[in-house]
Amino acid sequence: MQGGQMIVEENAKLSSVLTPSKPSYIQSLTKIVGTLGPNSRSVEVIEACLKAGMSVARFDFSWLDEDYHQETLENLRMAMKNTKKLCAIMLDTTGPELQVCNKTGNPIEFKADSHVTVTSDLSKELCADVLPVDYAELAKMVQKGDTVYLGQHLFTGHETTSVWLEVLETKGQDVVCLVKNSATLAGSMFTVYMSNVLINLPTLTEHDKQVISKWGSRNNVDFISLSYTCHAEDVKELRDFLKKQNLSQTQIYAKVETVEGLKHFDEILQEADGIIFGRGNLGIDLPPEKVFLFQKYAMNKCNIVGKPVVITRVVDSMTGNLRPTRAEATDVANAVLDGADGIMLGAETLRGLYPVESIKIVGKICAEAENVYNHTLHYKRIIRHVEEPMSHAESVASSAVLNFLIN
């Protein structure tokens, strides 16, 4: 794990803090992934996102259908044409995600210390007392004392939009839970996440395969984010499937977001083209004081083997606020200083009130961190792990980097 001594250049003095940031015509080297959705799918807004620094557009297939996402993609293509800016396409799989469907779309209010029943009986109506989930083995997977999270922001600190449940008992298909915090959930779909419980469902679901074979193949997507990657075999299975769909050039980014994925991280890294460090769910599975340890370990490993790593859940508060918190701004900078190659924005751009501003601010923070990053020390650290003898391509690239750093 890299130490704090290599983070910034010695010339990053107080004057650089007090000097106003200069407008840059060169976007940050750290790539910004923006998730397109209701508040960011018009041509005009996408154009602004591209100008602000978005270089990868993420299409999250855990909600809505292919037609909706296709329309958004056509808008993206029009925006790219208008702005003359390129943007890669990332398809994000659903994976073994459990969901509650709110057909009416009416807000549902939960009160702390009340009881709610999570059930696999889909004949029951959704209300504040009953939550039907399409998973037959639900009651078999949990036990008294387990933690269940429900919402759209999964326990990010915005507790008015996520619910923390504690399992009290199981009765047949039903799981009776205690509501730990008051919250009002709005929207058509809520995610159910059971902390540290391994769901008996495939990582690459039939729904995912259908989306990839139709929408992914039709649009020749650049990246696939494989949600809930737990083993190297998950990546291998997807790669084999992509070859059958004539998508062998599509890169696979393994989304590591559970303790099971953490346990098999090294093997997953060997098979994947890149890593997405999904701090949303992993931040639930791990104690808060442990998240940063794995983040630093994972990014260090990715840097050493030369594979891109993307960090998620950085400026959650910008879903409803014009500025990030001080902690969030520092978090983005520290991710860059730790070696992150990309920052992924989810709800901030999907349905947040300030999608363009979120991209702009994250880009500015990334650029500022890159400006004081100790590239020379980072290069020396990485070069120690390169196998000898170097390949011709590696040798030329290494010499070019060294020449750039010296000059």
Helix (H) or strand (E) holding 338: none
CA distance 383 to 352: 41
Phi-psi region of 192 (alpha: psi -120 to 50; beta: other; left: phi over 0): beta
CA proximity to 60, closest of 389, 400, 301, 345: 345
Confidence (pLDDT) at 401: 72
For 336, other C-beta atoms within 10 Å of its C-beta total: 25
What per-residue string of b and e applies to 162-201 under the rule 16 or more CB within 10 Å gives b? bbbbebeebeebbbbbebbeebebeeeebbbbbbebebee
Length of the chain: 407
CA dihedral 297, 301, 303, 307 (to 10 degrees): -130
Q: Rounded to whole angstroms, how far apart are CA atoms 364 and 219?
A: 31
Q: Are 273 and 307 in contact (CB under 8 A)?
A: yes
Cross-sheet strand order for the sheet of 174-179: 98-101, 189-194, 147-151, 162-171, 174-179, 115-119, 130-132
Q: What's residue 11's pLDDT?
A: 53
Phi, then psi, of 188 in degrees rounded to 5: -95, -15
Preceding peptide of 107 cis, ω within 30°: no
Task: Report the distance separating Cα 210 and Cα 215, nearest Å.
Answer: 8
CA 238, CA 212: separation in Å to the nearest integer? Answer: 10
The model scores a pTM over 0.85: yes
Which sign does the torsion angle of CA 401, 51, 251, 341 carry?
positive
Q: List, in order, residues 6 or more apart from 13 with CB less than 8 Å away.
A: none
Per-residue pLDDT of the chain (407 residues; tens, 9 = 90+): 444 444 555 555 566 676 777 665 567 899 999 999 999 999 999 999 999 999 999 999 988 899 999 999 999 999 999 999 999 999 999 999 998 988 888 899 999 999 999 999 999 999 999 999 989 999 999 999 999 999 876 665 555 778 999 999 999 999 999 999 998 888 888 889 998 888 889 999 999 999 999 999 999 999 999 999 999 999 999 999 999 999 999 999 999 999 999 999 999 999 999 999 999 888 888 988 999 999 999 999 999 999 999 999 999 999 989 999 999 999 999 999 999 999 999 999 998 999 999 999 999 999 999 988 887 788 788 878 777 777 888 788 877 877 776 66
DSSP letters spanning 235-303: HHHHHHHHHHTT-TTSEEEEEE-SHHHHHTHHHHHHH-SEEEE-HHHHHHHS-HHHHHHHHHHHHHHHH
Rounded-to-integer distance, Cα 386 and Cα 365, Å: 30
Residues 6 or more apart whose Cβ sits within 8 Å of residue 225: 58, 90, 91, 92, 93, 253, 255, 276
